Every structure is written in C-alpha cells, then in structure tokens.
Structure 1
Amino acid sequence: MSDVDWPAGFDRTDPEQRDTNEQYRVSLHEAVDDLAAELDLLDVDDWRLETPMRHQSRNLNYPYANQSEPDDSSVVLRWSMDGEQFAVACDAYSRVRDNVRTVGLYVREKRKMEARPVTTGESEFANARLPSGEAEAIVTNRSAHEVLGVDRDATPAEIRRAFRERVKEAHPDHGGSEAELQNVREAREVLLDGE
C-alpha cells in the first residue's frame, strides 16, 4: 500500500471520526469509472487519482480489485485544466470506494454549476485551484517533437508515421495512460497544425 500525498492546507478527518457509508451502491471500479466520465465531460487536460491502495500498472487511476480495505481510506484527485492545477480530497468515510464516489459527485455537481448561465466572480472550481508553487505539474513539459520522437525538421509524413507508432505505445490498452495518449495527440496537432 502506498501513502496518499495529501494536499497542504487541506483539513483531515480524524480516523476515529470516519463514517461508514451505506448510501452508495457502486463498486470501487464503478466509482472510478463515473469519476473518469465526469472529468472527460469537464475536458480536463490530465488527472490522477491517489488512494492508499495498489493501482493497476496499465491504468494508474484504478486500484486493483479484491484488495483489503486499507487503514487509511484517503482519496486525492489532482487534475490540470486550462493551464491551472486543481485538487480535491476526501477522507470522511472508512472505505476508499465511498471517498472516491464522494469526490466524483463533487466534481459532477461543480461541473453542472459551471455550465449554468450564471455569472459569478470565479469558476466553480476556484476553491479547488492549487496555489502556484505548490502544484505538481501533471502535464508534460516536453516539446511536441520530443513527445513524438521526431527531429525539428521532420516532414509531415514522418510526423504522421511517428504519431501512429507513439499512439500504440501510449494507449492504455498497451501499457500507456490516458494522459500519455492525450499528450501524443496534442503533439500531432501542434506539429501538423492546419492539416
């Protein structure tokens, strides 16, 4: 089991005060699936789910099934969106599944509020924005050429060929991740702008 990197300044729930939640009727996998769907609808650049459980090597945001419940059920979700870093965390419940589900419902509610045609001073996610300097960058800082592994003077045909190869490697079904796959797609768009 791994430790969760709890965001600085976020309040913690005393383990003795954590509730047993019987309200949610989803599995841990379903809770992560629902969270992933919400983040897709939000169109985040990249995201990472941290739990104290061991996570799958092919899909880093999913804990392995059939693990015993850890002593610490904390969950932290970090994501980047429009160049800013965000985090939300939950440790109110005694099971990881319930904390993941709560985070997913929070994101859903905020996303829906963000979509309302009401003008406010800031984004609905402003309270989840991490202060600069404390945010761990999630997106890559590599150039588009580095992401695709091509020279700066590569032809469009070479770029397309490199893209096809990198997509195979970066795809979650082949050991990559959604974040890596997205970086590869964005690199292609940058290098083949307008084609």
Structure 2
Amino acid sequence: MIDAFPLQWPHGRARTKARSDSRFKVSHSKAFEEMVSELDRFDVTHVVVSTNIPLRRDGTPYRDGLNELLEDPGVAIYFTRKKRQIALCCDTYRRPYENIRALGLAIKSLRDMDRHGAGQILDQAFEGLTALPAPGATDEADNRAWWVVLGCQPNASADEVRAAYKKQAREAGGASVELNAAKDAGLIAAGEAA
C-alpha cells in the first residue's frame, strides 16, 4: 500500500540535488486540477498522489500546501494502467505544485503519444516506469521491533510514536512500508488505534 502522506518516493529513483523555480504560468490549484484531469483522460485506476503535504478528508493534499517551500517538495504519482502498476515522480522544482505541473504535462505528453498511434512506443516506455515495491517492502522489515525502527522507547506515548515516525520519514526522504508498520504497531502499543 502506497501512502499519499508523507511522500513515498519510488525505490531506485534518483533525487534532484539542486532544485530550481519553474517558469510555469499556472496557479497551484490549477496545476493540481489539470494533473487530475490528465490522469482521468489517460484511463488509469488506483491513483495515489504522494507528497509531503497533509491531506484533506477526501485524500487530496491541502491546496495551500502546494505552493509552500518545503524541504522535500517531491511528488510521486502511482497508478495502474493496462494491468501494469506505474510510478511517475518529480522533485526538480522548489514547490510541490511546480512538480505536479511537470507531472501533469508529462502525462499529457504520454496521452498524446497513445492518441496519435504510438501506443506500442508508450507501452515500451512504461516498461521502465513500472512501480517497484515501496522502499522497505521486504520480509526483513518484519524482523525489527517497532521501537527500533522508529528510534524510540518501547513504552513511548502515542505522541512520541508520531514524532519519531515523522523524524524518521523526514530523514529517509519519505515513509516506507517498514516505517508505516512500525508507526501502526507503536500506536497500538500506546493504546491508540492505528
């Protein structure tokens, strides 16, 4: 399961070291709306947009957060197309909405390829974009105690568990399966439902 928050960067994908400002002339809300629209037109299912922006109740990021200067403004989009799980990601720009805009334009370009008869080329392109398991999705993750993974005490309170989780996720550049499982186990141990 890929979580939308915090950011879950696709395993094995390189990160941008020096980010820049984009030249996009679009608002942060419009960038998000157009990216969602492109995904809808691309005939994909099981879409998850993963960022470091807290989520609203409907599972989408707060729009105001899209324009913030975050330590990690990366965006990863996971979806299924033609029974293939795909991950697209971008952290080139300094604000999340700029990376969302870049991904929206990339999806539009892929959709144009498909629409103009280059579907075979598109399928070949997706071979390299197939989503790999989330970072930490191994059997080894089950062998470590939750407090070891989070770097806290076994008797930590729910607030301490959440704080340790956020710290570890920040340091790792996003959450992993192991961190999410450790947080859930820690909250249960602290007497709170995960």
Q: Please report the TM-score for the alignment, with normalisation by the length of structure 2.
A: 0.60
Structure of greater relative contact order (alpha carbons < 8 Å, 6+ residues apart): 2
For 1:25-174, list aligned pairs within 5 A. 25-58=25-58, 60-65=59-64, 68-118=68-118, 120=120, 123=123, 124-131=125-132, 134=133
Following the alignment from structure 1 to structure 2, what is the Cα–Cα distance between the partners of residues 96 and 3? 13
**Mapped contact 1:85–1:135 kept (Cα < 8 A):** no
Distance 1:82 1:24, change over 3 A: same
Counterpart position of 2:19: 18
Bigger radius of gyration among the two: 1
Q: Please report the TM-score for the alignment, with normalisation by the length of structure 1.
A: 0.59
Deviation at 1:6, TM superposition (A): 0.6
**Mapped contact 1:18–1:91 kept (Cα < 8 A):** yes
Counterpart position of 1:5: 8
SS in 2 for 1:77: strand
Following the alignment from structure 2 to structure 1, what is the Cα–Cα distance between the partners of residues 121 and 101? 28
Deviation at 1:56, TM superposition (A): 1.3
% identical aligned pairs: 24
Deviation at 1:106, TM superposition (A): 0.5
From the two aligned structures, give the one with the greater helix fraction: 2
Distance 1:81 1:42, change over 3 A: same
Deviates more, 1:46-55 or 1:102-111: 46-55
Deviation at 1:118, TM superposition (A): 3.7
- Gaps spanning 5+ residues in structure 1: where? 137-195
**Mapped contact 1:51–1:76 kept (Cα < 8 A):** yes
Q: What's the Cα RMSD here?
A: 2.2
Following the alignment from structure 2 to structure 1, what is the Cα–Cα distance between the partners of residues 57 and 70? 19
Following the alignment from structure 1 to structure 2, what is the Cα–Cα distance between the partners of residues 72 and 106? 20
Deviation at 1:73, TM superposition (A): 0.6
Following the alignment from structure 1 to structure 2, what is the Cα–Cα distance between the partners of residues 92 and 43? 26
